[in-house]
A = this chain, B = another copy of it.
Amino acid sequence: MRELTVALGERSYPILIGSGLLAKPDLIVSRLPSPQVMIVTNTTVAPLFLDRLKQGLDQRAVKVAEVILPDGEAHKNQETLALIYDALLANRCDRTTTVIALGGGVVGDMAGYAAATYQRGIPFIQIPTTLLSQVDSSVGGKTGINHPRGKNMIGAFWQPQLVLADTETLTTLPPRELSAGMAEVIKYGLIRDLPFLEWIEANIGRLMACDAEALSEAIERSCANKAEVVAGDERETAKVGGRALLNLGHTFGHAIEAGLGYGQWLHGEAVAAGTVMAAELSRRLGWLSQADVDRIRTLFAAAKLPVVGPALGTEKYLDLMGHDKKVLAGKLRLVLLKGLGKAVTWGDTGKDDIFAAIDACCKAA
């Protein structure tokens, strides 16, 4: 078992990574303030892992309740959130009850947000079961739901007590979701860790073949990068750099997700195509070479990720990007690359350059 710490003072917590951790309930029980939990999962994950988790907790006399949500980003909304609140109230959960998120990013975001806001905040444990959530969304405390007018517009920072990443859960993951997770793995290399980027390029074959050791290494190095960034900028308030750098490709990507309707493209797929746009824009600013951009495209393609955006129309891209949270005081701020392994936040990009970068990287309208 590998162990990392997210260093946030009194809100610090461990990330445990390894094979078969779901079958070790003591890792969880030792961190519960009272022997009552509410497991939040979904219709896809429940048949695979819920019984294993429940049995272990039952055997240790933990009172277990559960709520099973419909699966998918399309359900990351107020109505689904209400199902969690209703279950917490129906089971008379109090401030010492721990919410356990068992599933991917959507389950984690919603369970975490319910934990952040039920009775003004109760304890929370993340058990991510997708590569994307193991390397990204389960670490760092971002929780929330979508609003019809924008992704993650309603939410809270709420740190878990523990993140438990069982690599065994990845063996049941559909190939498309493995690829989506790889988009964020590659992101860590691109924004701040060139040696890791080179390691991914050298090992992309093993990773895509689900080699357990390669996946563990990728998860650990991804989480270590994320933990460092989060520790330096917990609430994304840094004016330059900081946590915003984790959003490489995300402003373009959110436009893709919103423009197509949430749930059409996976988040990681949108981030991949969005990162190519950000790289193309960086090239136009003279920061990346054509060879750098080609190298990024090649790696995403090897991870079976899209490198071309959908045909939304350039104006629509820009309009949807204006609703993104990276807009500060009316100005569009983007995460761009000064080089491979070196991301920056940049608020001074001309509209024409953004237009041209989108045009060059999406299908014709």
Please report which residues of chain A, range 143-162, place their CB below 8 angstroms from some CB of chain B when the two chains form the complex: 143-144, 147, 149-150, 152-157
A142 at the interface (CB under 8 A from B): yes
A329 near B116 with CB under 8 A, answer no
List the B residue with the shortest CB-CB distance to A325. Answer: B119
User: Knowing A150-B89, A329-B34 touch, does A155 contact B95 (C-beta < 8 A)?
Assistant: no
Interface size on A, residues (CB 8 A): 39
Known interface pairs A34-B329, A94-B329, A328-B95. Does A156 touch B89 (Cβ–Cβ under 8 Å)?
no
A155 touches B120 (CB 8 A): yes
Contacts of A323 in B (CB 8 A): 89, 92
Q: How far, in Å, is A155 (CB) from chain B's closest CB?
A: 4
Bound complex: CA A149 to CA B157 (Å)? 26
A329-B92 contact, Cβ under 8 Å, with A85-B154, A119-B155, A121-B157: no
Q: Smallest CB-CB separation from A33: which chain B residue?
A: B329
Q: How far is the CA of A155 from the CA of B236 in the complex (A)?
A: 22
Binary interface encoding of chain A residues 124-146 relative to chain B, with 1 for a CB under 8 A from any of its CBs, else 0: 00000000000000000011100
Known: A94-B325, A94-B330, A328-B95. A142 touches B120 (CB 8 A): yes
> Do the beta carbons of B116 and A156 come within 8 Å of each other?
yes
Residue A43 interfacial (CB < 8 Å): no
Contact with B along A216-239 (1 / 0, CB 8 A): 000000000000000000011000
Residue A117 lies at the interface, judged by CB distance under 8 Å to chain B: yes
Query: In the complex, what's the smallest C-beta–C-beta distance from A342 to chain B, in angstroms?
Result: 25
Chain B min CB distance to A162 (Å): 19
Q: Specify which chain B residues have a CB less than 8 angstroms from the CB of A92 in the assembled complex.
A: 322-323, 327, 330
Q: Decide yes or no whether A118 CB sits under 8 A from chain B.
A: yes
Bound-complex Cα distance A152 to B157 (A)? 20
Q: Shortest distance in angstroms between A288's beta carbon and chain B's nearest beta carbon?
A: 28
Tell me the nearest residue of chain B to A157, going by C-beta.
B120
CB-CB under 8 A from A157, the residues of chain B are 120-121
A96 is an interface residue with CB less than 8 A from chain B: yes
Chain B residue numbers with a CB within 8 Å of A95 are: 325, 328
Bound CA–CA A92/B326 (angstroms) = 12
A-B contact pairs, 28 of them (CB 8 A): A34-B329, A36-B329, A78-B82, A85-B153, A86-B149, A89-B147, A89-B323, A90-B149, A92-B323, A92-B330, A94-B328, A94-B329, A94-B330, A96-B328, A117-B144, A117-B155, A118-B154, A119-B153, A119-B325, A120-B143, A120-B144, A120-B152, A120-B155, A120-B157, A120-B235, A121-B156, A121-B157, A121-B235
Across the A-B interface, the 3 shortest Cβ-Cβ residue pairs = A120-B155, A89-B149, A34-B329
